[in-house]
Structure 1
Amino acid sequence: MKEMLYSIPVNDAFQVECECPICAMRKVLEDNAVRYTMGPSYMEEDTRAMTDAMGFCQKHIKDVYNMENRLGMALVLKTNFDKVIRDVKSMSVKPVKPKSLFKKETQKIPILEYVENLNNTCFVCNRIELVFNRYIDTVIFLWKTDENFKKKFDGCKGFCTTHYAIMIKEASDKLKGDDLMIFIDTLNNLYIASMERVRDDLEWFINKNDYKYANEPWKNAKDAIPRALTKANSIL
């Protein structure tokens, strides 16, 4: 079954010591997509056609740049610029006289639609999403069919808010009856318990910055802020 093709990376992610195994899965996909972009693939015409058409979001253009393949970066950017220049030149924006003096009519301006679309597409994001959704499907599939994975799921440190919501949505589409009720109940308990745990660590971190607690142990609070960022903003 196709779900099994993704069981290894999903199982691996649930063995990572972190506040959200789904974030861990996505991070691997992101790193692989960035490396792919600046690997030999950038010389392939079909890949360049996609990078030319999609461009990159603000985050991922920085990640691609940090791969330090300056020649590859220049080539990718140059052909992207070529396409954008050609496309913009082919679109002329001319003022249109209104049909009525009293009614202002709205008009779609092709160049604005083009730029808005360009600003909302990213080659790296696209590569991530193509596989990420299958990973989520595999999590649910393994939870239902693999007892060992179910134990890993039940024993994880919970999920970030974004992926908690994604899991609820996808489970609602793919599970039914008792399976759905048990999965959602487990998911809720994991999320709430982990949020409370990190909240308490943040509280202790705050206390440790008060001189009254200077001689008290740090407990698990030293890295409370980066773990809280994972929970709240999916930053791993």
Structure 2
Amino acid sequence: MKLELETIPVWDGVQHNSECFICELMTEAQKDAINFYLGNSVMNPETRVRVNEHGFCPKHWRMLTAANKPQGVALMSDTYLETSRKKGEAAINGLLSAKSPKQAKKAVGAFHAVMDSREKGCLVCSSMEERLQRYLYTTCYLWGEDPAFREALSQGKGFCLHHFSLLLETAQKALSSSLYPEFVRELSKIEVASLDRIAKDVHWMTQKYKSENADKPWHGCEDAHKRTVDKMTGRSRVIDPVH
């Protein structure tokens, strides 16, 4: 699979020196996708057809409704609901007409199948997934092709565990077989050092709440609990997988 490279945002990201620059890039990808469906695209018939067919996951429906642009969300939800009712009409009629346990069970199963299909394929998640694949591939590609990028990455703070795992997997496709083992070793060294630093910070945070340490300095660990959670789970990631 050939992917379009995203060298500029990835280079910008690695220079931010964040706990996981992939998370930072994905936060922007999510904003871009939400803004797209809150903008003029909602008046585009092609976009409306896609929304009617796929819709959004619960998280991204909530983000859309929280953006204080009710007209666009009303237009999308109006036709999405209409399409959903049409797709589920037969199943709903089955629920209404069920007169025996067997009929009820069958009707509930049919309705569940319709709902399951409607809750897959969030357009925002799909857009984020496409961007994520390009960012992961570009990171691996630049590591293999650009010594300056490799050095910058080695001086960074690593990645969240979620994106660290995805990078190791992506490198199998993005790098030659001769470079792949070195990438795994070097990225793992960076990640272990990062995890050691985070572990030290959050442990000191727990000690700071003891009375005997109340007057001791924080050493920059005031937000260690947040950084630890971000490191473990990923601050911005695709929630609803692309189906």
Normalised by the length of structure 2, the TM-score is 0.86
Which AA in structure 1 matches 2:168?
I
| 2:43 corresponding residue in structure 1 | 43
What aligned pairs does 1:3-18 form with structure 2 within 5 A after superposition?
A: 5-18=5-18
Give the distance between the partners of 1:137 and 1:108, measured in 2 at CA. 43
Moved more, 110-119 or 123-132: 110-119
Counterpart in the other structure of 2:153:
153
The answer to whether the 8 Å contact 2:157/2:194 transfers is: yes
Deviates more, 1:113-122 or 1:182-191: 113-122
Q: Is the 8 A contact 2:201 2:221 kept in 1?
A: yes
Maintained 8 Å contact 2:5/2:135:
no
For 2:142, the aligned partner's letter is L
How far off its partner does 1:207 sit?
Answer: 0.6
- Which residue matches 2:30? 30
Q: Deviations over 1:52-82 (max 9, x none)?
A: 2222112211211222101111111111101
In the other structure, the counterpart of 1:87 is 87
Letter in 2 for 1:80: Y
- Answer whether contact 2:56 2:121 (CA < 8 A) is retained: yes
Where does residue 132 of structure 1 map in the other structure?
132
Kindly report which structure 2 residues correspond to 1:1-236, keeping only aligned pairs within 5 A, or say none: 5-91=5-91, 93=94, 109-235=109-235
Check 1:116–1:67 CA distance in 2 against 1; reply closer, same or farther (3 A cut): same
2:84–2:118 contact (8 Å) kept in structure 1: no
SS in 2 for 1:178: coil
Q: Is the 8 A contact 1:16 1:24 kept in 2?
A: no
* Contact 2:160/2:234 (8 A) holds in 1: yes
- Give, in whole Å, the separation in 1 of the partners of 2:86 and 2:177: 54
Distance 1:189 1:107, change over 3 A: farther
* One-letter amino acid matched to 2:55: G
Q: Provide Cα deviations, 1:161-199, integer angstroms capped at 9, x if missing partner.
A: 111110111112332333111110111111111111111
Equivalent pairs counted in the alignment come to 229
Q: Is the 8 A contact 2:33 2:128 kept in 1?
A: yes
Secondary structure of the 1:157 match is: coil
> Partner letter of residue 189 of structure 2?
N
Alpha-carbon contact 1:172-1:180 (below 8 Å) kept: yes
Instruction: Describe the SS at the equivalent of 2:15.
Output: coil
Residue 151 of structure 1 deviates from its aligned partner by: 1.7
> Structure 2 unaligned runs (5+)?
101-105, 237-243
Question: Larger deviation: 205-214 or 49-58?
Answer: 49-58
Does the Cα contact within 8 Å between 1:51 and 1:80 map onto a contact in 2? yes
Query: 1:102 matched to which residue of 2?
Result: none
CA contact (8 A) 1:136 1:167 kept: yes
- Structure 1 alignment gaps of length 5 or more: 98-105
AA aligned opposite 2:28: V
Structure 1 length-normalised TM: 0.88
Alignment partners' CA distance in 2, 1:177 and 1:121: 34
Identity %: 26
How far does residue 226 in structure 1 lie from its aligned partner after superposition? 1.4
